[in-house]
Structure 1
Amino acid sequence: MTEETVVEKTWRGILERHPEARRGEPAVIEAAYAEPRLRALFPFPSHGALTFHRNTRFPWSNDLPFIVGDAQWCIVYAPRGVTQRVLGESLTPQEAAALVVAHLPPDCGPAFDGPWPPPENSVD
């Protein structure tokens, strides 16, 4: 049996609502987890938002779209610094998760263990 990655362990803790795990809107968490590309990223629920990161430790990448909402409606926001801030609104959690996936950069994922920015590739 392979050892669970930090990303897998974090998703599992959130989904199973472990006492030490961060809390988020269950419907949004489940919809995001159902998307394989989002499941490969580091989830960070906080203050009604579910953000996704390319790395597992602070400082976070903060360069990906994110979801704010609940089981009834969601808004998908572009990452900071993007002119068109709202990518979609009045969405179901499933629609919101799909919209985030549609706006991920092609080179995105899986998340690496460590702080942002990514480690430089060493040349021997």
Structure 2
Amino acid sequence: MSEAPDAATAWQWLLERRPHTRSWTHDELVPVARAAHAEPRLRELYPFPSHGALHFLRTGPGETRPAGNLPYVLYGPPPYKVYGADHAELGAPGTAEEAVALVVRHLPPEPGQP
């Protein structure tokens, strides 16, 4: 499985559904990924789909600096589940856009900083 070298490339591959990249076959990820990419604060972060959730990392996978915990969205049929950095459920919005807005509301200040 290929991992993108940076956040911009990771977003591009995720939205293009580039073959053999993380979760490229998961149709349920598409609306969440599109809604997340539309948010400027999330576009700064590295999108990391794993285990049915779209996570957001401050650094890419495998980098030596800690990525830190940020809110994430479980994708699948609505309602979507949104969890905070402490893995506590923040809500179950009915649309991908509402789920992403909930993530953004719970981001710490300056999420692009390591």
What is the TM-score when the length of structure 1 is the normalising length? 0.74
Deviations 1:4-50 (A, max 9, x none): x7111011001101113211511111111111101110000112100
Pairs within 5 Å for 1:103-122? 103-109=106-112, 118=114
Partner residue of 2:58 out of 54, 59, 74: 54
C-alpha distance in 2 between matches for 1:57 and 1:51: 11
Q: Any stretches of 5+ residues in structure 1 without a counterpart?
A: 111-117, 119-124
2:21 is matched with which residue? 21
**Does 2:11 match 1:11?**
yes
- Name the structure 1 match of 2:73: 67
- Contact 1:71–1:92 (CA under 8 A) maintained in structure 2: no
Gaps of 5+ in 2: none
RMSD, aligned α-carbons: 2.0
Contact 1:43–1:51 (CA<8 Å) still a contact in 2?
yes
* Matching of residues 33-52 of structure 1 within 5 Å: 33-52=37-56
Residues 70-89 of structure 1 mapped to structure 2, 5 A cutoff: 70-80=76-86, 85-89=88-92
Matched pairs, number: 104
Question: What is the deviation of 1:71?
Answer: 4.9
Equivalent position amino acid for 2:91 in 1: G
Bigger Rg over Cα: 1
Give the secondary structure class of the aligned counterpart of 1:91: coil
Highest RCO, 1 vs 2 (Cα 8 Å, sep ≥ 6): 1
Identity %: 43
Q: What is aligned with 1:94?
A: 97
| Distance in 1 of aligned mates of 2:77 and 2:50 | 16
Shift of 1:64: 0.3
Three-state SS of the structure 2 residue aligned to 1:43 is strand
